[in-house]
C-alpha cells in the first residue's frame, strides 16, 4: 500500500485517486501495486458496480517515475513486475471503469485510458505517449488498442511520433466521451457512475464483455510489448536517451 493512491468506496463506486502532486502523480511500483489490488479486489465484490480512476484537479499522471522505473527494471529484462501486474488487472477487469482526466496523461497514463469504458477530459487535458523519445516502444496493449480506437494514422502520430493530443482532438478521435471545465472531471465522472450503477448489473457485464477485446489477445500483445520494452531498456539508444533525460532533470 502507498499514501500516493487513495482508494475509497462511495455508494456502489470505487474511486482510485492518484495523490502525488509534487511529482505530477508520477507512478511508482508501489502505486501500481495499490491500483492493481484496488481493481482486483472489486471483481468479486457485488457492492462495487463501477470504478473511477482520477488524478484530481490539474493533472492525471505524468507516467512512470523514471528513477523508480530504472531501479525496478534492473536485471528484469522486461517491464517492472508491478507495472505489468497493473496492466493485467486492467485487462481482466470485468466492471466498468471511468477515467477522469484533468491535465496531463503521459505514457502509461494515456495508455490506461484505452482500457477504460468511459473517458472524461478537461479542456486542459493532453494525452501523450513519448516512448519513442526514450528509445522505447508502446506498452499496455496500446499498439493494439490505439489503432482500433482512432485509426492507424492517428495512432502512428501518437505512438510512433510521440505527438500529444488535446482533449478536443481526443474527443474527435473517439477515445474521449466528453470534455468538461477544469476541476470538474471527477464530479462529472460521479454522475456517469450513478447512471451506470442504475443499470441492470448482469446486462452491463455481458454487454461490456461483447464490446471489449478478448483478454487473451490483450495479454498476448502486452507480453510482446513487454519483451520488446525490456530489450529496448538495455539498448544503447535507450540508455543514452535516459541519461539525457535525467541530466535535464538535474539542471531544473
| Residue 20, φ and ψ in degrees, nearest 5 | -140, 60
Domain holding 34, by residue range, is 5-183+198-202
CB < 8 Å & 24+ apart, contacts of 159-166: 159/129, 159/131, 159/132, 160/132, 161/132, 162/128, 162/129, 162/130, 162/131, 162/132, 162/133, 163/128, 164/126, 164/127, 164/128, 165/126, 165/127, 165/128, 166/125, 166/126
Pick from 48, 34, 41, 136: which is nearest to 86 by CA? 34
Predicted model pTM: 0.93
Question: In this structure, is residue 222 part of a structural domain?
Answer: no
Reported as a single tens digit per residue, the pLDDT across 197-215 is 999 999 999 999 999 999 9
Contact between 120 and 207 under an 8 Å Cβ cutoff? The reply is: no
Q: With contact defined as beta carbons under 8 Å apart, do 124 and 101 qualify?
A: no
Give a yes or no: residue 251 inside a domain: no
CA distance 17 to 54: 5
pLDDT single digits (tens) 57-110: 899 999 988 777 666 555 444 456 788 999 999 999 999 999 999 999 999 999
Structurally, the chain folds into a number of domains equal to 1
In a domain, 212, yes or no: no
Question: pLDDT at position 200, please?
Answer: 98
CATH of the domain at 134: 3.90.226.10
Query: Any idea what DSSP says for residue 139?
Result: -
Amino acid at each position: 500500500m502507498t499514501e500516493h493512491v487513495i482508494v475509497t468506496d462511495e455508494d456502489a463506486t470505487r474511486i482510485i485517486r492518484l495523490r502525488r502532486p509534487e511529482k505530477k502523480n508520477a507512478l511508482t511500483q508501489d502505486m501500481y501495486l495499490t491500483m492493481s489490488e484496488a481493481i482486483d479486489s472489486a471483481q468479486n465484490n457485488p457492492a462495487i458496480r463501477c470504478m473511477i480512476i482520477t488524478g484530481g484537479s490539474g493533472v492525471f499522471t505524468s507516467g512512470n517515475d523514471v528513477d523508480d522505473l530504472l531501479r525496478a527494471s534492473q536485471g528484469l529484462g522486461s517491464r517492472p513486475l508491478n507495472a505489468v501486474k497493473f496492466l493485467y488487472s486492467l485487462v481482466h477487469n470485468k466492471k466498468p471503469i471511468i477515467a477522469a482526466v484533468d491535465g496531463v496523461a503521459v505514457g502509461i497514463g494515456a495508455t490506461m485510458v484505452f482500457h477504460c469504458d468511459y473517458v472524461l477530459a478537461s479542456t486542459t487535458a493532453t494525452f501523450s505517449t513519448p516512448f519513442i523519445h526514450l528509445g522505447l516502444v508502446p506498452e499496455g496493449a496500446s499498439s493494439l488498442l490505439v489503432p482500433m480506437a482512432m485509426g492507424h494514422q492517428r495512432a502512428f502520430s501518437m505512438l510512433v511520433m510521440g505527438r500529444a493530443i488535446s482533449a478536443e482532438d481526443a474527443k474527435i478521435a473517439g477515445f474521449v466521451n466528453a470534455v468538461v471545465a477544469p476541476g470538474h472531471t471527477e464530479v462529472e465522472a460521479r454522475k456517469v457512475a450513478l447512471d451506470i450503477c442504475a443499470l441492470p448489473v448482469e446486462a452491463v457485464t455481458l454487454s461490456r464483455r461483447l464490446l471489449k477485446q478478448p483478454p487473451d489477445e490483450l495479454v498476448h500483445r502486452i507480453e510482446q510489448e513487454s519483451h520488446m520494452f525490456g530489450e529496448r531498456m538495455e539498448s544503447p539508444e535507450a540508455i543514452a536517451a535516459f541519461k539525457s533525460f535525467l541530466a535535464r532533470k538535474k539542471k531544473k
